[in-house]
Amino acid sequence: MNENNDTILLEYMVLKNDFKSAGEASSNVKKVLNQLGIDSKIVRRVAIATYEAEMNIVIHSYGGKIIVSISSNEIDVTAHDTGPGIKDIGLAMQEGFSTASNQVRELGFGAGMGIPNMKRCADVFNIVSQEQKETIVSMKYKLTI
Amino acid sequence: MELLEIRDILEAKVLVGEKFLEREVFSAFGSDLMSDVLAYVNEKSILLTGLTNPQVIRTAEVADLFAIVFVRGKMPNKELIDLALEKDITLMTTEYTLYTTSGKLFEKGLLGVKIEGVLR
């Protein structure tokens, strides 16, 4: 889709249970978007959703990566992990539903707001997963001008 | 309300970000749930929390919150304070509980975040 040569691609590895670094990818994404002069309201939405996606990889998955592609008319964020997949996506989309451990809850997460938050922030939201498989979350943000 | 006034009302100790005390916030949000902070706060607010892990700073950073008050006398570790310093976030700690902290600020005119219609 992005035929523009000016597309910027950012890629971050996200490790399982790495609570110390969790948030660094989102922080860097935010910094880059701000440097590019993108509207602060959009930057905020992208940063929040990317952070939720990053936390989800840290909390729930075996590890994965976050890929951000920025073109003149769109920001695409993809969070791609290596499993173990989501048994019931419909349930995971419901506010308040969570499978997080007490340790995660003590960090202030695992309240079942992650996926609903991401969906709310993005212009287009899609999640693909099944049990024992990878999970891919894709979000698109439209840029005007 | 300026952070300076918040510090005085709460008799709080400023841990980092002293130079930003003239910054102004228009509402406050009290929670130990960071996902709720991410979901509901969409204006210049101050975060009141009893959580002192690095995720609090990360949450503040992505949600554009530039000040946090730790309640119940909670004291974050140096790592968290250093992260706040790097992100230009002001940190304070007060001996008051979350409820009392909220009440004292509310009484002086600092209202809560409006959340109607935010989620959907």
Q: Residues B74-105: pLDDT tens digits?
A: 999 999 999 999 999 999 999 999 999 999 99
- The amino acid present at B68, given as its one-letter code, is I
Tens-digit pLDDT profile for residues B15-58: 999 999 999 999 999 999 998 999 988 889 999 999 999 999 99
The secondary element (H helix, E strand) that includes residue A10 is strand A8-14
Q: Which domains does chain B have, with CATH numbers?
A: 3-107 (3.40.1390.20)
Residue of chain B with shortest Cα separation from A53: B35
Interface test with B, best of A51, A60, A103, A120 (most B CBs within 10 A): A51
ipTM field: 0.87
CA distance A28 to A14: 13
Which residues in B have their CB inside 8 Å of a CB on A?
Answer: 32-39, 42, 49, 51, 53-56, 58-59, 61-64, 87, 119-120
How far, in Å, CA of B94 to CA of B11, rounded?
7
Question: Is A128 inside any structural domain?
Answer: yes
Q: Give A96-142 pLDDT, tens digit per residue.
A: 999 999 989 988 998 899 999 999 999 999 999 999 999 999 999 99
User: Which CATH number does the domain housing residue A137 bear?
Assistant: 3.30.565.10
Domain count for chain A: 1
- The pLDDT assigned to A6 comes to 85
| Nearest residue of chain B to residue A30 (CA atoms) | B62
Is the per-residue pLDDT at B117 higher than 70? no
Rounded CA gap, A48 and B38, in Å?
Answer: 6
**Chain B interface mutation, best of A27, A46, A103, A104, highest count of B Cβ atoms under 10 Å:** A27
**Amino acid A38: pLDDT:** 96
Q: Provide the residue type at A138 as one letter.
A: S
For A95, the domain range is 8-142
Q: Is residue A20 part of a domain?
A: yes
Average pLDDT for A2-24: 88
DSSP state string for A40-96: HHHHHHHHHHHHHHHHHHHHHSS-EEEEEEE-SSEEEEEEEE-S---S-HHHHTSTT
CB contact under 8 A, B35 and A108: yes
Question: What was the pLDDT predicted at A94?
Answer: 92
Task: Count A/B contacts: CB-CB distance under 8 Å.
Answer: 80
Establish if A1 belongs to a structural domain. no
Quick check: A2 pLDDT over 60?
no
Residue A145 has what pLDDT?
61
The Cα B24–Cα A123 span in angstroms is 31
